[in-house]
């Protein structure tokens, strides 16, 4: 509990405005900014502090004695009429004053057999809150990483559309020149102009997509939507991931799985805690009393007492209407539910990893095909452009080659992005999402 939130404190050393001042943003800087500013992480950190506070309160309630000090001072003025056995004549005392001063210190200590189990349960709950904070960190890292690469993808698509528009402009120029020289009809020129306008529209739409992708990334980094910056223009694919490695690490480091395991432990401890309430509980008490009474009426005109009192008792519940038995039975049912939930999550985790790995593996295979297809489409487009310039090929042939190149480039960069997206998801599921496992150091600083 003495660890610091490593990355958050690291980010404090790098002011956010420096990133914008440099005009560039890489993934590591984006993660630093997001982890520093993200409100979900801040909420999770505060929840950890609350749970740790509950644990400390539990220590005080269960193992520390309760000591109360009381000081009382009272006054009274009364008209008193008294009759005594040996003196039947009434005695009248007007404005009889009574003064009472009382000071006491009372200490109570009770030990319940379930106290140790309660502390273990509170400890498990504290660990759960820490793991939930790490889940928030990992989800933020995954979200920012995916949004960052999505922005790169959309920028790459924009460059592809710009290249397509340049080809369309070249086609318009060629068709116009051929039309003006009488080598081609006006229909070819108009068709080229229509395709050019359509490509211009696609480029404008892509600009809107880029703006929104940038806003999405800024939102995850918890900065203003109008912040602008330059990002890398490439997506680098890591070395191939191994399914066995992912599954092994998932069962050791997946935070949601660790939470489910601790929830099962909590349910077990709750049952043990209820069973322990059947054992005898010990209560000890001690007090110091100093009391002074002064009275103008009565047999005692002054009474002063001071001294210590102490004692204890042992309490055993003999019968409570079978309520405890029912609560224990409910706790056993809850324990069984948590066991089933843990088993179900393990199956789900394996399935999620397998599905993501299947997609990841197929996309890597698809990438090899798309790379070859792109080379063919680019060569074919160059040939079609030259043939069209020489008047050998029709505008339909050139447009078909142009569309094929656009489609091949889009499929290629999309395939690269899909691989990266699945990498992020697989690393998140296996608990390895953050750089060099720094996500495991994300626990709040405790004062």
Q: Give pLDDT, residue 302.
A: 76
Ranked by mean pLDDT, the top range of 182-186, 316-320, 339-343, 379-383 is 339-343
* In the predicted structure, residue 299 carries a pLDDT above the cut 70: no
Q: How confident is the model at residue 45 (pLDDT cuts 50, 70, 90)?
A: confident
Query: What tokens appear for 402 in the block?
Result: 């142009």
Average pLDDT, the chain: 82
Taking only the tens place, the pLDDT of each residue in 261-293 is: 999 999 999 999 888 888 888 888 888 888 887
Beta bridge partners of 67: 107
Angle between helices 395-429 and 243-253 (to 10 degrees): 40
The sign one gets for the Cα dihedral 148, 152, 158, 162 is: positive
Task: Tell me how far CA of residue 95 lies from CA of 78, 80, 300, 303, in angstroms.
Answer: 5, 8, 17, 20
CB 168 within 8 A of CB 203: no
Characterize 270-286 residue by residue with b for buried, 16 or more Cβ atoms within 10 angstroms of its Cβ, and e for exposed: bbbbbbbbeeebeeebb
Q: State which of 120-129, 200-209, 371-380 shows the largest mean pLDDT.
A: 200-209
pLDDT at 9 over 50: no
CA distances from 327 to 186, 269, 276, 331, 339 (A): 88, 13, 12, 6, 18
Q: Which residues contact 392 (CB under 8 A, 6 or more apart)?
A: none
pLDDT over 70 percentage in the chain: 87
What is the phi/psi pair of residue 111, to 5°?
-115, 125
Higher pLDDT, 349 or 44: 349
Tell me the two tokens of residue 231. 């990002």
pLDDT of residue 15 exceeding 50, the answer is no
Amino acid 18: pLDDT: 38
pLDDT for the residue numbered 185: 65
* Mean of pLDDT values over 429-436: 74
State the pLDDT confidence band at 247, using cuts at 50, 70 and 90: very high
Q: List the domain boundaries for the chain.
A: 6-12+26-64+112-279+316-437
302 vs 82, 289, 305, CA distance in Å? 17, 16, 10
| 6-12+26-64+112-279+316-437: CATH architecture | Up-down Bundle (1.20)
Q: What is the DSSP letter of 38?
A: -
Tokens found for residue 68: 């109360």
Give the pLDDT mean for 128-132.
Answer: 91
* Placement of tokens 């203003």 in the chain: 224
How large is the average pLDDT for residues 111-121?
Answer: 84
């Amino acid at each position: 509990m003495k660890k610091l939130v490593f990355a958050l404190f690291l980010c404090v050393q790098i002011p956010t405005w420096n990133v914008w001042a440099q005009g560039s943003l890489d993934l590591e800087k984006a993660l630093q900014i997001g982890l520093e500013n993200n409100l979900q992480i801040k909420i999770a950190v505060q929840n950890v502090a609350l749970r740790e506070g509950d644990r400390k309160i539990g220590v005080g309630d269960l193992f520390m004695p309760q000591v109360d000090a009381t000081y009382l001072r009272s006054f009274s003025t009364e008209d008193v009429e008294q009759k005594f056995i040996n003196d039947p004549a009434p005695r009248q005392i007007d404005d009889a004053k009574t003064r009472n001063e009382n000071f006491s210190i009372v200490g109570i200590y009770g030990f319940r057999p379930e106290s140790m189990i309660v502390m273990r349960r509170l400890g498990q709950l504290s660990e759960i809150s820490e793991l939930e904070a790490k889940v928030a960190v990992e989800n933020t890292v995954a979200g920012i990483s995916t949004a960052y690469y999505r922005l790169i993808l959309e920028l790459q698509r924009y460059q592809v559309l710009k290249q397509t528009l340049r080809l369309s402009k070249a086609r318009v120029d060629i068709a116009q020149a051929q039309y003006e020289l009488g080598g081609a009809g006006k229909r070819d020129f108009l068709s080229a102009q229509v395709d050019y306008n359509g490509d211009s529209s696609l480029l404008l739409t892509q600009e809107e997509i880029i703006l929104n992708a940038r806003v999405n990334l800024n939102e995850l980094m918890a900065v203003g939507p109008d912040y602008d910056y330059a990002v890398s223009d490439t997506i680098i694919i890591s070395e191939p991931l191994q399914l066995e490695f992912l599954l092994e690490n998932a069962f050791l480091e997946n935070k949601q799985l660790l939470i489910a395991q601790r929830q099962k432990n909590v349910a077990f401890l709750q049952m043990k805690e209820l069973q322990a309430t059947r054992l005898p509980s010990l209560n000890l008490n001690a007090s110091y009393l100093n009391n002074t009474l002064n009275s103008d009426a009565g047999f005692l005109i002054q009474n002063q007492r001071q001294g210590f009192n102490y004692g204890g008792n042992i309490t055993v519940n003999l019968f409570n209407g079978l309520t405890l038995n029912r609560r224990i039975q409910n706790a056993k049912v809850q324990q069984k539910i948590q066991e089933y939930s843990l088993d179900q999550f393990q199956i789900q985790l394996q399935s999620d990893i397998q599905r993501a790995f299947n997609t990841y593996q197929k996309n890597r295979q698809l990438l090899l095909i798309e790379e070859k297809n792109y080379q063919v489409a680019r060569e074919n487009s160059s040939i079609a452009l030259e043939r069209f310039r020489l008047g050998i090929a029709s505008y339909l042939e050139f447009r078909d080659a142009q569309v094929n190149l656009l489609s091949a480039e889009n499929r290629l960069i999309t395939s690269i992005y899909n691989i990266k997206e699945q990498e992020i998801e697989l690393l998140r599921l296996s608990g390895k999402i953050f750089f060099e496992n720094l996500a495991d150091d994300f626990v709040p600083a405790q004062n």
